[in-house]
A and B are shown apart, each in its own frame.
Chain A
Amino acid sequence: MYAIEAKGLVKQFDGFRAVDGVDLKIPEGSIFGILGPNGAGKTTMLRTLLGIIDPDAGTRTLLGADRPISQSRNVGYLPEERGLYQSMRAVDTIAFMGALRGLSLREGARKGRALLEEAGLGYAADRQIRQLSKGMAQTVQLMGTIVHDPRLIVLDEPFSGLDALNQAKLEKMIRAQAAKGVTVIFSTHVIAHAERLCERIAIIAKGKISFDGLVSEARDRLRPQVHLETETLDGPWRSALPAQAKAEGHHWHFTLPETGVEPLLTALVKGKAGIRSLSIERPGLHDAFVAIAGEDVAAEMDGAAMGDAK
């Protein structure tokens, strides 16, 4: 069963294809990250998948329904552009957001208070949104996203604008929801978040999906990197190293040959290389991203992430 299934999805504005033929399957119960630089089409794709805007071509189903709005009660959505009614009290805001998704106001208020207490913000429940700090207001909005116990939570750039402490709290919340079997989808341009949280990711650039699968599959697209330090600088063992191995004195860096670790080790020992140290590193998601999306897209992502950090 897929939480979201899209085929050939296209959305264009004034002739510009913001989403360009997206095929996507997101299994239920997973934490799914959508990675891409700013302007890649992440938000438009999410809006199209959630039925906020209609696609120009293609099909999509949300929790098995062709009309995404019909699944509204089972979905929680935190948009990238945060916004709340400034004169509303925090607890009323959560109750209102729950009411939009079918919860009664009374039940929404009760659960809202409980959620705020849980987050250590119980004292602010009766304060107006305009009296809260930005971080607190964002937390209130997040509570409003989950107050009705949705089956699917969609978070658009949820980490943007949060300090390290609140980012950690958000990660904890995402994991807690996933542990309950809730599907969590979030978009981000910070690879580290996806790497820490997600089982599956999709990489999007210029409106197209260039990868969709397990994080491990993305990483496996690159061969592991070998870092070797030897006693000797030359000998018969050198023939076991690939031609493109980089040498820095007694240090050698190269991609693990297709043949694997054992033949390499045997050749190094038999050839009396004198191994001082040997490490084999699995590539990170960032390296995989560079390999899949290209260096220019990765540079854009890094630039945006740096901007966020500032």
Chain B
Amino acid sequence: MSETFRAAFVIARRDFIAIVYSKAFIFFLLGPLFPVLAGFAAGNLGEQMARDVSRPFVAVALTQADSEKLLAARASLSKTFGDGYFADMKIVGDGAAEQIRPQEYLNKKADNFSVVVTGTLAKPIITGTASSIEGQRADIELLAGYASSGGRVQLPKATPDVVAESANNDKQLRTITGQIGQALIFFLTLLLAGMVLSNLVEEKSNKIIEILAASIPMESVFLGKLVAMLAMALVGITMWSIIGLIGFMAIDPDLPSIPTPAVGWPTFAALCFTYFIMAYMMFGALFLGIGAMASTVREVQTVSTPLTMAQMVIFFFAAFALTKTGEPIEIFAAVFPFSSPFAMIGRAALEPALWHHGVAIIGQLLFALLLLRLGVYLFKKNVLKSGNAGREEDGGKRKFWGLMKISR
């Protein structure tokens, strides 16, 4: 056993150095930056579009005095409700001095009015489409009432008494923490498992695989490759975490508050890390085994999409099960090896018990080792064949994952 680990270390060290010293590693490190930048750009663009296109604008055409009172009421109540709470308002005419035709204001595309308020403060008339009226009615009534009373309506100032948690919505809030943990594990596993898929193609295309297979147990080759990718991932995670933390501190020193998980933050973080490793080991062992059967990058690409989809299905299944704590579907998600890390991190957010994490981690580890052995078995059985031996009758064809004959 010690020889297996020693040899695995030799492979892991070679792979780790080869990856970290390659130019491609820079792109790996920059990888998460692209979705962040894309999200940032899309968010800004969306916000701008929302501001420009769907921002409601209210045309006010009461008497001049009433209109001014209404706008004053808006300014006064915005201090309580917030700046963006009420729609912007614009006085467009004097209801007492002229004949107001609301439809004309609504037809003007340049002004972009959603409703027009006419009548009096005591009996305002709102003109607009049904949905626009529905959206503005309560606000206009409130503002008109406040303006009519001359601002005498006193809103009592409540004293805030902030608590960290509330028993009423503990589960709901902690579910969010669980979902964040699940998403984090899923994202990292998705990122790495796909890379593992093509990990043995280099050795096969370089014909080094035979030297490795003759020198050390194939289990060591597989294990070493998994560990190397994991080490590379940890370098990336460390760097991303530091940069992310610095970024958050620079933008907003008050980090967003996330509900405390049931097991507490330190244990939750440790479990997150452990379940990430378990998920990676299981998916990695499976993907490495499948990838090892492939002879070319093209074959790897062929299987990568369905495998990614399968990963996503498992993640969504675990995310769904999170909302069904204690029900058979959640128990199944916790027991089924591939969904277990996701389901169990959800449990860590919701339930304080720790023993079932120990059982789950041992189970996941054993399953990962089983997959590793299975991958090695299939590799030895199907891959290392000599030259054209036995293929002459098939016109030099070989079997694609042992299933169908394809041309070489």
Contact = CB atoms under 8 A, between A and B. Distances in A.
B207 A83 contact: yes
Contacts of A14: 390, 394, 399
Contacts of A39: 387-389, 392
21 contacts: A39-B388, A39-B389, A39-B392, A41-B386, A44-B389, A47-B210, A47-B214, A47-B384, A47-B386, A52-B380, A77-B211, A79-B211, A79-B214, A82-B207, A83-B211, A85-B18, A85-B202, A96-B10, A97-B211, A97-B215, A100-B211
- What size tier do the contact residues of chain A reach? 35 or more
A190 interface: no
Interface string A101-115: 110000000000000
A53 B380 contact: yes
A83 B210 contact: yes
A6 to B, nearest CB: 17
Contacts of B384: 47, 52-53
Interface residues of B, number: 33
A83 B10 contact: no
B217 A81 contact: no
Interface in A136-177: 144
Contacts of B7: 100
B207 A79 contact: yes
Contacts, number: 93
A18 B18 CA distance: 37
Interface in B210-229: 210-217
A16 interface: yes
Interface in A242-284: none
A84 B211 CA distance: 9
Contacts of A51: 214
Q: Which 4 A-B pairs have the closest CB atoms?
A: A16-B390, A83-B207, A100-B215, A43-B386
Contacts of A18: 385-386, 389-390
B162 to A, nearest CB: 58
Contacts of A88: 18
Interface of B: 6-7, 10, 14, 18, 22, 202-203, 206-217, 380, 384-394, 399
Contacts of B394: 14
Interface of A: 12-16, 18, 38-39, 41, 43-44, 47, 50-54, 69, 72, 75, 77, 79-88, 96-97, 99-102, 144
B380 A101 contact: no
A41 B394 CA distance: 18
